[in-house]
Amino acid sequence: MSPLERYRAKRDPTRTPEPVPPTDAPATKRGRSEKAHPDRKGQELSFVIQEHHARSLHWDFRLERDGVLVSWAVPKGLPLQRGVNHLAVHVEDHPLEYASFTGTIPEHEYGSGTVTIWDRGSYEATEWTDESVKVTLHGSRVEGRHGLFRTDGDNWMIHRIDPAPPGWEPLPGLIRPMLATASNELPGADKDWAYEFKWDGVRAVVYVEGGRVRALSRTDRDVTGSYPELRGLGEALGSLQVVLDGEIVALDAQGRPSFETLQPRMNTSEPGRVRRLAKSVPVTYMIFDVMHLDGHSALEVAYCERRKLLEGLELAGPHWAVPLSQAGGGAVVAKAASDAGLEGVVAKRLDSPYRPGLRDPNWRKVKNFRTQSVVIGGWASGQGHLQGDLGALLLGIPKLGGLDYIGRVGTGFDAAERSLLLGQLSRLARASSPFNGVVPRTEAAGVNWVDPVLVGEVRFTEWTRTGRLRQPAWRGLRVDQRPEEVVVEP
């Protein structure tokens, strides 16, 4: 059987731009026919790696041998870290002409999608059997010794034999987001700061490797499945290895980011419901920082330089964007945020490094309206048409192993939110109050106490002299925060 018989059987030359040599094709320009003798050990031949945006992004690794390109599809690309194995699926041999192919394979054709050349060069084989291949690559992006070994049928593994390139660092498994301190006013030395809009959403750190996305919340919870819109970001970044910081937002009927609108998405992970909500409540990932890029940490890099790195990625897609950051002119940015009905602004020192997991004064948030994270310590039944349903929540701020009572909230809930909260609170019931001291009798009557583990957010007008919230309205649960992170905001 001809080495290219499987290749030809999968392709119609009248419907694909790929090279499809006829069965009686003459010898290639290199003078090697399909029946050429096996390559001699150590002989230098060509290789190519093609980035293939098909139904699932992958990289096609092709080695010239016996007049064809022996090929593997590698879903996560060639690993740079020694000892790490990536799946490599052995596919049909390709003609040598395919080494220079770039283009788009039409929809409904085999391998439909866009093909580009990611790297190419020469290689020497030091071992080649039916079970194992070892080669030394000489490309512009990939250098050094690599090995492949068969695991089961067409499934192989590929790994790097040589050490990683000098200075290269693997993608970190966890970088917690840097947090801003609350402030009532913009910083003084305006020229030393950059200003961004404050987005009314939920924080997410996104890790991209091999075109695959993993999104973690502030509490290190994997929320990738809740936001399938982010998968396309991995495709857009291709082989780049990146850790990004940003906020996931949903828009309300007026086109403004709205924490309340985002609530259904935050509290859903069931795949079927996620798919439905992705259509009715789509989200956008607002990216404002980069902490790791292509094998190099950016944590100690100044904010102004990190922004240049971020903007250089040119990330603009249907569900992700890099919003404006303006050096100086804080008052102008704050007014624009207020006029647009946005939550506020975040000021960041131009020379500030990234401090994972810390609330740092080099980042300051200034809000246009007052919100407060709260911990739920109990709930009261409703009256009238809400009899037997959730009527109000009793709220607190963690202190001295318990909660300092800050008031009740009974507005801002819709029917779905009441049902969601009641279901979660019923599983947290306890006999005693979690609050420090005594809750006023008029506010504690008929209350159901709960373990203080659920965090939410309220909007309010001001703090009273006695430390209570004035006119609070419920905004939603904060599944991205831990109770111990909740502090009084000015």
Q: Is residue 170 in some structural domain?
A: no
pLDDT per position as a tens digit, 182-220: 999 999 899 999 999 999 999 999 999 999 999 999 999
Same domain (yes/no): 29, 88: yes
Same domain (yes/no): 109, 223: no
Q: Is residue 320 in some structural domain?
A: yes
Same domain (yes/no): 214, 353: yes
Q: Is residue 166 in some structural domain?
A: no
pLDDT, position 37: 34
Q: Is residue 490 in some structural domain?
A: no
pLDDT, position 44: 74
Split into its structural domains, the chain has a count of 3
pLDDT, position 28: 52
pLDDT, position 64: 98
pLDDT, position 43: 59
Same domain (yes/no): 71, 107: yes
Same domain (yes/no): 380, 289: no
Does residue 168 surpass a pLDDT of 60?
yes
Same domain (yes/no): 87, 144: yes
184 φ/ψ sector (left φ>0, alpha ψ -120 to 50, else beta): alpha
Same domain (yes/no): 156, 192: no
Residue 337, CA distances (Å) to 168, 252, 344, 461 in order: 40, 16, 6, 19
pLDDT per position as a tens digit, 415-472: 888 888 999 999 999 999 999 988 998 898 889 999 999 999 999 999 999 999 999 9
**Residue-range definition of the domain harbouring residue 200:** 179-367
Same domain (yes/no): 214, 79: no
Measured in degrees and rounded to the nearest 5, phi and psi for residue 260 equal -65, -40
The beta-carbon contacts of 412-418 under 8 Å, at least 24 apart in sequence, are 412/260, 412/458, 412/459, 412/473, 412/474, 412/475, 413/474, 416/264, 417/263, 417/474, 417/476, 418/386, 418/389, 418/390
The domain that contains 415 carries what CATH number? 2.40.50.140
The beta-carbon contacts of 365-369 under 8 Å, at least 24 apart in sequence, are 365/180, 365/181, 365/182, 365/183, 365/198, 366/183, 366/184, 366/185, 366/186, 366/198, 366/334, 367/182, 367/198, 367/343, 368/334, 368/337, 368/338, 368/342, 368/343, 368/344, 369/343, 369/344, 369/459
The domain that contains 245 carries what CATH number? 3.30.470.30
pLDDT per position as a tens digit, 476-489: 999 899 999 999 98
Residue 128 has which token pair?
A: 């080649």
What is the overall mean pLDDT for the chain? 92
Which helix H or strand E contains 309, and what residues bound it? helix 303-312
Same domain (yes/no): 356, 414: no
pLDDT per position as a tens digit, 352-379: 999 999 999 999 999 999 999 999 999 9
Question: Which domain-ending residue is among 367, 389, 407?
Answer: 367
Q: Is residue 308 in some structural domain?
A: yes
Does residue 244 surpass a pLDDT of 50?
yes
Where in the sequence numbering do the catalytic residues fall? 198
Does residue 144 surpass a pLDDT of 60?
yes
Same domain (yes/no): 375, 361: no
Same domain (yes/no): 48, 115: yes
pLDDT, position 381: 87
Does residue 36 surpass a pLDDT of 90?
no
